[in-house]
Amino acid sequence: MIGVVAPEQDMPVIREFFELFKTPWEICRSSKHYDVVLAASTEGTLPDADLSVVYGLDPQDRAREKDLDQARPAVLLRYREHRFPIYGGCSVLNSDGKRVIDQEATGKIVGSMIPGSGGRIVRIGYDLFKEVRFLLLNGQPTEYALMPTLDLHISILRDLIVESGIPLVEIPPVPAGFDMILCLTHDVDFASIRSHGLDRTVIGFLYRATIVSFVHFLKGQLTIGKLVGNLLAAFSLPLVHIGLVCDFFNQFEKYMRIEGSIRSTFFVVPYKNLDGEEFGDQYSKGRATRYDVEDIGPQLSALVAKGCEIGLHGINAWNDTDMAESERERIQEAAHSTVAGVRSHWLFWSERTPEVLEDAGFSYDSSFGYNETVGYRAGTCQVFQPLNAEKLLELPLHVQDTALFSSGRMGLSQHDGIEKIDELLRWIRQGRGVTTVNWHLRSIGPERQWDKAFKHLLQLADDPRVWVASAQDVVQWFASRRLVQFGEIDLDTGRSLVSSKGTETTPRIAVRLYNHHGTATSEAEHVSLSERSRTAG
């Protein structure tokens, strides 16, 4: 059991932190002995514990922090082989104890295990819950996108506990028997090139299909087959308009064919020719699409019949509850299917978006990601609950095709894009959670032809240790995990009693137990209904 010592204002962040690090905890009671105490401040007397982990700035650094009008630049720290940023400042420690965390630039100590005659004490010179709050509310700037910062905060605390010889029980963020979750989604920004006439989208398409493709071919970045395919598409455009050649912006059938039995999610736009509202420096000019959801009714019916999920690709839903309800109803009417989730077009998002979407009846959002790069905007590969939401969950977006391959963004080749995807997967495949992928509808056709990287992702579906699921299914699984509660725990015998207020989950939730030697002794399936529980161990 972890006892937490922290001010009342940190409680919403603490509760969410322990939904991600799903292990038993409570607010410290002064008369109780704890296996672990987590203190969010250097002030006050610590309760009795085998291990005390004390976070926080030193008083002098905290006083200077209050005098700053702007946030400090991020400080890069190193924990073992991992690098991660701290956004709220950190304190250098004068300690002759065992180093735990260092400043990358200076090598100075930021985390140290302090020697003592009683229980072990680890001092860490930053405010953990301030960092978690920043990650969940603001997200990381793009330069740190590839660092799973929030997940690392969890890993550090877990390592400190199990390596101190203290038994630990937790609910991993992946189902029993799996190493990773893969969620394939598709934003439908373009459904037909015919509807664009000769606008800038078509002019850009012709330029990239001909001149840019030829240049890429000369540089060895495009095969002769793809070059010929792009040129044929460009010269066949008049035949597309008169109906003699299939519209190559419409790739619904190809996705259904290559994905096979995979239940992916398609986010579709409700209205055409609507740029939507602007917010701050997020301009909406050019945001309008040239198709209406009613134009793709037959395709949506085919997707629903296959078992795919239809979500809202919202225009104004991110900022207006009435519009969110209207846009959702329009998609439901066209798809003849319930719409549970939304991803905002162009990833428009503000701090009040979760509250707006929750009031409109959505169960999840999947807009918290990057347009310019790939990575962990919230610092995690877990589904989380925004701090200003009561029920709505956020499925963070990690990989977007246009971020990887578009010029002006990362501008990678398919080969380099696959390497970047694999870099992300190396972390997530260690039982960390879900990889959420967005491959736009037109991206596997001319002139993009980003099908090689997408098929690389599809190979994961053949791995029995990877659960591939729709956005709604992933969110529902994490929602069930959040309902699990810890009851009586006897780690000496390796048995743990857990219960849930929810229903049975498929796939099953696991309970992981670490013994006195810091190794995982068992990982058992857990399922329980509101009236019963099951012992795992």
Q: Order of strands, edge to edge, in the sheet holding 495-500?
A: 484-490, 495-500, 533-536
Return the SS3 of 472.
helix
The reported pLDDT for the residue numbered 494 is: 44
- How long a stretch of residues is the chain? 537
Bridge partners (DSSP) of residue 159 are none
In order of 134, 322, 395, 476, 484, the CA distances from 506 in angstroms are 33, 34, 18, 10, 14
Residue type, 266: F
The reported pLDDT for the residue numbered 531 is: 27
The answer to whether 341 and 366 are in contact (CB under 8 A) is: yes
- Tell me which H or E stretch contains 113: strand 109-114
What are the tokens at 417?
């894009």
The reported pLDDT for the residue numbered 500 is: 62
Q: Which alpha helices (H) appear in 272-319, and where do they start and end?
A: 297-306
The reported pLDDT for the residue numbered 472 is: 98
What phi and psi, each to the nearest 5 degrees, are found at residue 455? Answer: -65, -30
Q: How many helices (H) and strands (E) does the chain have?
A: 16, 24
The reported pLDDT for the residue numbered 357 is: 97
Q: Could you give the CA distance from residue 288 to residue 201 in angstroms, rounded to a whole number?
A: 12
Q: Determine if the pTM surpasses 0.85.
A: yes
Return the SS3 of 427.
helix
pLDDT beneath 70, residues of the chain: 60-72, 116-118, 488-504, 516-537
The reported pLDDT for the residue numbered 32 is: 85
378 CB-near residues (< 8 Å, 6+ apart) = 135, 136, 139, 140, 150, 368, 384, 394, 396
Q: Could you give the CA distance from residue 401 to residue 437 in angstroms, rounded to a whole number?
A: 8
Residues 210-255 have pLDDT tens digits of: 999 999 899 888 899 999 999 999 999 999 999 999 999 999 999 9
Averaged pLDDT of the chain: 89
The reported pLDDT for the residue numbered 270 is: 97
Which is it for strands 82-86 and 34-39: parallel, antiparallel or unpaired?
A: unpaired
The answer to whether 125 and 102 are in contact (CB under 8 A) is: no
What are the tokens at 20?
């991600």
The reported pLDDT for the residue numbered 70 is: 47
